[in-house]
Amino acid sequence: MVRRIIFLSAGIGSVDPERTPGVQAAIRGVSMKSMKPFNLRPLLWFDCAAAAIAGTAMLALAWLLAPLFGLPRVVVVFVGLVNLAYGAFSFSLARQPSPARGRVRALVTANLLWVGVCVVMALYFAGPGSWLGASYMLAEGFFVGALATVEARTLKAIE
């Protein structure tokens, strides 16, 4: 009862730690690795949606984003097209009941390669007046890298 009150006062809501495995693990200090691995498909759906939204926005707003970011319009269009292509590939995986491990590894590898591309573009375009574009490229690289890390760890946990 005392633990339930602590969780309620922490703003968690009506979580009963005795009936919630994640909370029980946290209370006992059990590693999350020993718990049931996270399902890969929701990550793939999130990945797909994020890439599709970013790609669509970049293409639809290329005329506005290019001067705002201090990037050539062709670069903004290129980034948008890569995001859409990537979103299509992650969509093809998310639709499958059990995505092929090799294809998911390819997706993770593509994510990590894109991180490198984002960093190189940020450094290349980090001149005067283009700090916003460089910042965007670094932020996209960070987001994609974090997503690749979560996908890789999830894939490893379910293998």
pTM over 0.75: no
**Residue position matching structure tokens 């309620």:** 8
pLDDT in tens, 97-147: 889 999 999 999 999 999 999 999 999 988 766 889 999 999 999 999 999
Q: In which element (H, E) is residue 23 found?
A: helix 21-28
